[in-house]
């Protein structure tokens, strides 16, 4: 009787994950995001006084992990997926198994796995740091802590991180390169969502950044619309990845 074999992606993703741990770009992205988190929390703590009790630092940290953290992760995802093109490893994989859809699925699974790890590490760091600083600066963390609110924020951060990752992967797949993918996702995030969208209010309500901020507990956008935006951008990113890659020809 033959032994049931694991899905080929299981081992492939494990090896990719091992490789990612050795890449400076991953460590750099983690450090940048952590530094932003520390800075935001410290600014809040140092700005307190005169009756201002400040905000819940745990929730504040999670909001930072959602946005700008999501965008930082999107850039990382573009760099990771784009390296398949830069190193031409795409060619070796497709020469073995030419199914373009399977290749895209692998990239998206790697991105989702990385998103999960990013979310876990960054959320844990945000909660730990917020809790520790709150112990020092008040208010009483036991009073401020709410499982329901924190749980919702954590779920929002996970969804936003995943969708920004999918956007990054889609940019790398469409642009077929790490650098081009990073530029594309930065153009989308910085220029599109933060630069141009605020100039026209109706559009500003439909950006991933605004939705991420709202879902993490800030701003006035309806939760339903925020969920719709996050889900919609995710579906568009997924569709774009498969569509752009379906006719891919390997010329180098």
Partner 1 sequence: MLRRGWLVAKGTALAAAVELKGVHRRLGRSPALDGLDLRVEERQLYGLIGPNGAGKTTTLRIALGLLRPDRGEVRLLGADPRSGDHGRGQRVGSLVDGPALSPRLTGREQLALMARWSGSQSSEVERVIRLLGLGRMTEQPISTYSSGMRQILAIAAAMIGPPDLLVLDEPTVGLDPGHRRRVDDLLVEHVRGGGTVVLSSHQLDDAERLCTRVGLMADGRLVEEGAPAELGPAAGRYEVTVDDPEAALRALRAARLICWHDHGKVVVETGRADQLDRPDGSAIARILAEAEIFPSDLRRSPTLELAYAQLTGGDLARV
Sign of dihedral through CA atoms 185, 190, 196, 197? positive
Write down the least CB distance from residue 56 to partner 1, Å.
39
In terms of CB distance, is 37 or 169 closer to partner 1?
169
Q: Which positions lie near partner 1, rule CB under 8 A?
A: 8-12, 15-16, 18-19, 22-23, 83, 87-99, 102, 106, 247, 249-252
* Distance, CA of 43 to CA of 60 (rounded, Å): 11
In terms of CB distance, is 53 or 97 closer to partner 1?
97
* Distance, CA of 106 to CA of 7 (rounded, Å): 11
Cβ atoms < 10 Å from Cβ of 145: 15
CA dihedral (103, 104, 105, 109) in degrees, to 10, reads 110
Sign of dihedral through CA atoms 41, 193, 210, 240? negative
Write down the least CB distance from residue 82 to partner 1, Å.
13
Write down the least CB distance from residue 109 to partner 1, Å.
12
Degrees, nearest 5: CA angle 148-54-217: 35
Write down the least CB distance from residue 83 to partner 1, Å.
8
Burial level of 116, CB count in 10 A (0-12/13-18/19+)?
A: middle
In terms of CB distance, is 201 or 252 closer to partner 1?
252
In terms of CB distance, is 35 or 250 closer to partner 1?
250
Write down the least CB distance from residue 2 to partner 1, Å.
11
In terms of CB distance, is 48 or 102 closer to partner 1?
102
């Amino acid at each position: 009787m033959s032994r049931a074999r694991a899905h080929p992606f299981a081992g492939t993703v494990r090896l990719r994950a091992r490789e990612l741990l050795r890449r400076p770009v991953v460590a750099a992205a983690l450090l940048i995001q952590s530094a932003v988190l520390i800075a935001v929390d410290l600014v809040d703590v140092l700005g307190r006084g005169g009756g201002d009790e400040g905000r819940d630092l745990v929730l504040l940290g999670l909001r930072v992990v959602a946005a700008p953290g999501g965008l930082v992760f999107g850039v990382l995802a573009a760099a990771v997926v784009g390296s398949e093109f830069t190193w031409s490893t795409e060619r070796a994989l497709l020469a073995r198994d030419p199914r373009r859809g399977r290749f895209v699925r692998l990239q998206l699974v790697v991105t989702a796995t990385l998103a999960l790890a990013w979310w876990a590490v960054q959320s844990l760091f945000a909660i730990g740091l917020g809790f520790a600083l709150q112990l020092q600066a008040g208010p009483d963390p036991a009073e401020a802590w709410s499982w329901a609110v924190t749980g919702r924020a954590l779920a929002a951060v996970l969804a936003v991180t995943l969708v920004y990752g999918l956007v990054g992967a889609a940019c790398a797949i469409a642009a077929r390169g790490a650098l081009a993918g990073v530029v594309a996702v930065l153009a989308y995030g910085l220029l599109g969502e933060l630069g141009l969208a605020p100039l026209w209010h109706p559009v500003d309500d439909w950006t991933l950044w605004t939705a991420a901020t709202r879902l993490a507990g800030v701003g006035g956008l309806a939760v339903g619309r925020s969920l719709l935006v996050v889900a919609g951008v995710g579906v568009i990113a997924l569709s774009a990845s498969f569509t752009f890659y379906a006719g891919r020809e390997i010329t180098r």
